[in-house]
Amino acid sequence: MFSGSLVALITPFKSDGSLDLEKYRELIEWHIAEGTNGIVPCGTTGESVTLTHTEYESVIKTAIDQAKKRVPVIAGAGSNSTAHAVELAEQCKAWGADAVLTIVPYYNKPMPEGMFQHFKAVDAVGIPMVLYNVPGRTGKNMPATTTLRCARELKNAVAVKEASGDVGQIMEILAGHFAVLSGDDALTLPLIPMGVKG
């Protein structure tokens, strides 16, 4: 469903600490002009966990408005709270996002069954969902078996953003015929011939 260069956008701020939405719009326009295939507002690069809910809403809505369906918007909608992740996904769907990026719950370090149940709850929202495995940020790796279970059993799971740094794990997911997006810049180039989508 998604492929190519899908950029995790920074969130620009003014010197007084307020959002700089004018610069944000300029950044999105630059990416579209340069051939970016999709944008990802409010991922970890966009400082999602430090934004207030009002700021979060402004950033997501601005990205959707500025993109104007020229490129897909995969809105960061992750939380270590399953209820909050569901709420964010519902809001992003209502605002018009094309998909959500949903991280393995951080800090809580759930077991594989807990990870699956978390993603299952978000899946019920009914918006395409990119799973996000970044153990360096969450403290817990999602094994390939769990990723592939999500691929088989969750109808809205469309890809996984893999930032585990484990090439063997990524190969196992690819062998299971599930779309992988590289979440590790250093591995992206060597992973392309292996079949990653973006």
Active site residue 161: yes
DSSP 48: G
Cβ-contact 92, 127 below 8 angstroms: yes
| Residues in Cβ contact with 197 at an 8 Å cutoff, skipping those fewer than 6 apart | 2, 3, 4, 159, 179, 180, 181
Distance (Å, rounded) from C-alpha 102 to C-alpha 164?
A: 15
CA proximity to 69, closest of 27, 38, 36: 38
Any idea which residue has 């997501």 for tokens? 60
Active site residue 93: no
| Residues in Cβ contact with 65 at an 8 Å cutoff, skipping those fewer than 6 apart | none
* Candidate list 61, 93, 161, 197, residue with the active-site label: 161
* Candidate list 24, 61, 132, 140, residue with the active-site label: 132
Question: Which sequence positions are flagged as catalytic?
Answer: 132, 161
